C-alpha cells in the first residue's frame, strides 16, 4: 500500500490565485481529513469527510472547499489564495470515524502565498 | 471541549539518557490519546495510542507512554535516547462523541533534541 499520498509537495501561489491540493489513500478508509500546520500552533482541522459524498467543516474552514466523490480521493481547493493560507497542509485518513481509530498522515504540501 | 497541552516547547537530552516528553489532557468523555512524531520536512508518523487497559502503552522505536488518569497526563518516555530520536513530537486526543466525533485535537508540539 502507498498509504496516504499528497501532491504537490511544494507550491507557490500569488494572492488571488486558485489551486487544488490532491490527497489519495489506498487503504479503503472511510474517514479523511485536512489539517494545516503553523509554527507553534500544532495542527488544526480544516475539513473532514466520513465517507463518499459527505463532508463537514473543522476548526478553520474559511477560504477552503472540499468534495468527496470517491472513497479514495479528498481534494482541498483554495478558491482565492491569501498570504494567511501560507502553511503546511496534511491530509489524513482512518478506517472509520471512531475515536479509537488511528489517523494516518500524508507527507504534506508546503504552500507559500505571495 | 477536548484539549491537550504540551508544557515544554523544547526538551534536550544526552544520548543514552532517558527522555520524557510531557502531555496533559482535558476531555469531557473517554480519553483516547495519541502520540505522533514528525521528522524534518516529513509527515506525522503514528507512535502509539491509549484506548483502554494497561496504563503503560508500548509503541514504535522503543517509545512508551504512561497514562495517568488522576493527573490527566499521558507522558511519552524512552529509557535510552538516540540522536535519531531528535524530532517534533505531538500529543493528540480524539473526540469520542457528538458533532465533533472523530476529530483529533493536537498539542502545540515539543521539539526533542538529543545530543551525542
Confidence of residue B93 (pLDDT cuts 50, 70, 90): very high
- Residue A106 is predicted with a pLDDT of 95
Confidence of residue A107 (pLDDT cuts 50, 70, 90): very high
Place of cell 483554495: A78
Helix (H, G, I), strand (E, B) or coil at B64: strand
Are the beta carbons of A105 and B108 separated by less than 8 Å?
Answer: no
Q: Name residues whose C-beta falls within 8 Å of residue B98's C-beta, 6 or more positions apart in sequence.
A: none
Helix (H, G, I), strand (E, B) or coil at B99: helix
Which residue in A has a C-alpha nearest to residue B91's C-alpha?
A42
- Residue B29 is predicted with a pLDDT of 82
Tens digits of residue pLDDT in B6-54: 999 999 999 999 999 999 999 888 889 999 999 988 889 999 999 988 8
All three cell numbers of A62, joined, read 474559511
Which residue in B has a C-alpha nearest to residue A46's C-alpha?
B103
Q: Å from B86 to nearest chain A CA? A: 17
Is the CB of residue B5 less than 8 Å away from at least one CB of chain A? no
Q: Name residues whose C-beta falls within 8 Å of residue A92's C-beta, 6 or more positions apart in sequence.
A: A4, A32, A33, A34, A35, A103, A104, A105, A106, B44, B104
Confidence of residue B1 (pLDDT cuts 50, 70, 90): confident
Report chain A residues whose CB lies below 8 A from the CB of B107: 42
- Residue B99 is predicted with a pLDDT of 72
Q: Work out the number of other CB atoms within 10 angstroms of the CB of residue B112.
A: 22
Helix (H, G, I), strand (E, B) or coil at A83: helix
Torsion of CA A12, A15, A19, A23, to 10 degrees: 60
C-alpha distances in angstroms, A27 versus A53, A76, A112, B104, B113? 18, 19, 30, 20, 34
Tens digits of residue pLDDT in B57-79: 999 999 999 999 999 999 999 99
pLDDT at residue A97 is higher than 80: no
Is the CB of residue B90 less than 8 Å away from at least one CB of chain A? yes
Amino acid at each position: 500500500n502507498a498509504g496516504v499520498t499528497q501532491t504537490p509537495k511544494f507550491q507557490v501561489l500569488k494572492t488571488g490565485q486558485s489551486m487544488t491540493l490532491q490527497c489519495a489513500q489506498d487503504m479503503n478508509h472511510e474517514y479523511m481529513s485536512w489539517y494545516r500546520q503553523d509554527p507553534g500552533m500544532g495542527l488544526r482541522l480544516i475539513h473532514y469527510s466520513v465517507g463518499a459524498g459527505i463532508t463537514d467543516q473543522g476548526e478553520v474552514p474559511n477560504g477552503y472547499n472540499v468534495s468527496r466523490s470517491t472513497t479514495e480521493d479528498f481534494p482541498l481547493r483554495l478558491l482565492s489564495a491569501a498570504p494567511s493560507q501560507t502553511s503546511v497542509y496534511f491530509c489524513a485518513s482512518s478506517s472509520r470515524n471512531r475515536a479509537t481509530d488511528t489517523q494516518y498522515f500524508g507527507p504534506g504540501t508546503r504552500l507559500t502565498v505571495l | 471541549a477536548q484539549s491537550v497541552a504540551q508544557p515544554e516547547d523544547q526538551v534536550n537530552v544526552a544520548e543514552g539518557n532517558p527522555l520524557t516528553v510531557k502531555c496533559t489532557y482535558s476531555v469531557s468523555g473517554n480519553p483516547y490519546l495519541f502520540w505522533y512524531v514528525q521528522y524534518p520536512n516529513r509527515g506525522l508518523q503514528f507512535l502509539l495510542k491509549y484506548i483502554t487497559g494497561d496504563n503503560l502503552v508500548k509503541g514504535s522505536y522503543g517509545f512508551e507512554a504512561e497514562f495517568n488518569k488522576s493527573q490527566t497526563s499521558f507522558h511519552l518516555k524512552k529509557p535510552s535516547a538516540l540522536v535519531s530520536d531528535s524530532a517534533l513530537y505531538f500529543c493528540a486526543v480524539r473526540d469520542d462523541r457528538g458533532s465533533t466525533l472523530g476529530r483529533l485535537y493536537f498539542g502545540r508540539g515539543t521539539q526533542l533534541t538529543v545530543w551525542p
